[in-house]
């Protein structure tokens, strides 16, 4: 199994709530890591689809070590930047220690453990060593020294804060209409999928964030 790492960008903590939740990027597209590898957009599509069909998720480990996970990944999705992940640390000794280390900034990276299934070797000296076009994702670890400096945890928060943010999705329509000049029909088209997920139960946070970023990037274009 091979590894590729990224780092945390911004940490936010809630003062209340029972869960120790965080989001970030397990991998960033089109960025050469310290091993000389680059991941192409779409590289995780097949493995994420396989996990979804099986009802599984890659493991959450600490520094790629041990057989006992320190947490569980709740959602994973590709967006225009890379593999965005959302997870919760377990209330075990290692899980709590990892949360304290994240909050203190002692560790700030994420790293993927994977098996390459399709890749292209460099054709010219200036090319990446390998362009990874498809990978089998086995685990995503919290690490201190990531190989890919752009893969980092973006937010660390409790369950109460996360639920509060999801509840604010209804306000997005006003933002899109007033700040971006979208019509009501355009806004409803963006939000309808989010509302459907909410009606079915717990929304997939990573997919929501990825979709929001995609739609906002269209506005900027």
The full set of domain ranges for the chain reads 2-158, 161-220
Decide if 5 contacts 112 (C-beta within 8 A): yes
The whole-number pLDDT of residue 67 equals 73
Pick left, alpha or beta for residue 67 (phi over 0 → left; psi -120 to 50 → alpha; otherwise beta).
Answer: alpha
Query: What is the model's pLDDT at position 143?
Result: 84
Rounded to whole angstroms, the Cα distance separating 189 from 70 reads 38
Q: Which helix (H) or strand (E) holds 124?
A: none
Beta bridge partners of 132: 39, 119
Paired tokens of 133: 């076009």
Tokens of residue 34, six digits: 């310290």
**What pLDDT score does 15 carry?**
43
In sequence order, the 6+-apart residues with CB closer than 8 A to the CB of 113 are 1, 2, 3, 58, 61, 64, 137, 138, 139, 140, 141
Tens place of pLDDT for every residue, the chain, 221 residues?
777 766 554 444 444 456 788 888 888 898 887 778 899 999 999 999 999 999 999 999 998 887 789 999 999 999 998 999 988 899 999 998 988 888 777 777 888 999 999 999 988 888 888 999 999 999 999 887 554 555 555 555 444 544 454 455 555 555 555 545 666 776 676 666 666 655 555 555 555 555 555 555 444 44
Q: Which of 202, 42, 60 is nearest to 138 (CA)?
A: 60
State pTM to two decimals: 0.64
pLDDT at position 44, please? Answer: 97
pLDDT the model gives residue 196: 60
DSSP three-state, residue 44: coil
pLDDT of residue 186: 66
């Amino acid at each position: 199994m091979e590894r590729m790492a990224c780092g945390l960008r911004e940490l936010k903590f809630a003062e209340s709530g029972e869960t120790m939740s965080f989001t970030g990027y397990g991998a960033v597209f089109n960025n050469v890591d310290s091993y000389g590898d680059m991941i192409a957009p779409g590289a995780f599509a097949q493995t994420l689809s396989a996990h979804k069909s099986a009802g599984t998720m890659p493991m959450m480990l600490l520094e790629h070590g041990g057989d006992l996970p320190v947490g569980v990944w709740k959602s994973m999705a590709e967006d225009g930047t890379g593999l965005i992940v959302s997870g919760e640390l377990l209330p075990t000794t290692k899980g709590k220690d990892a949360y304290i280390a994240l909050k203190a900034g002692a560790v700030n990276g994420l790293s993927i453990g994977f098996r390459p299934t399709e890749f292209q070797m460099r054709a010219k000296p200036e090319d990446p060593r390998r362009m990874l076009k498809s990978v089998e994702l086995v685990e995503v670890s919290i690490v201190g020294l990531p190989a890919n400096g752009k893969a980092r945890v973006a937010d660390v928060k409790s369950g109460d804060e996360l639920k509060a943010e999801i509840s604010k999705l209804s306000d997005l329509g006003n933002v899109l209409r007033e700040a971006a000049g979208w019509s009501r029909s355009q806004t409803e088209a963006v939000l309808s999928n989010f509302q459907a997920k909410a009606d079915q139960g717990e929304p997939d946070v990573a997919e929501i964030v990825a979709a929001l970023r995609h739609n906002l990037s269209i506005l900027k274009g």
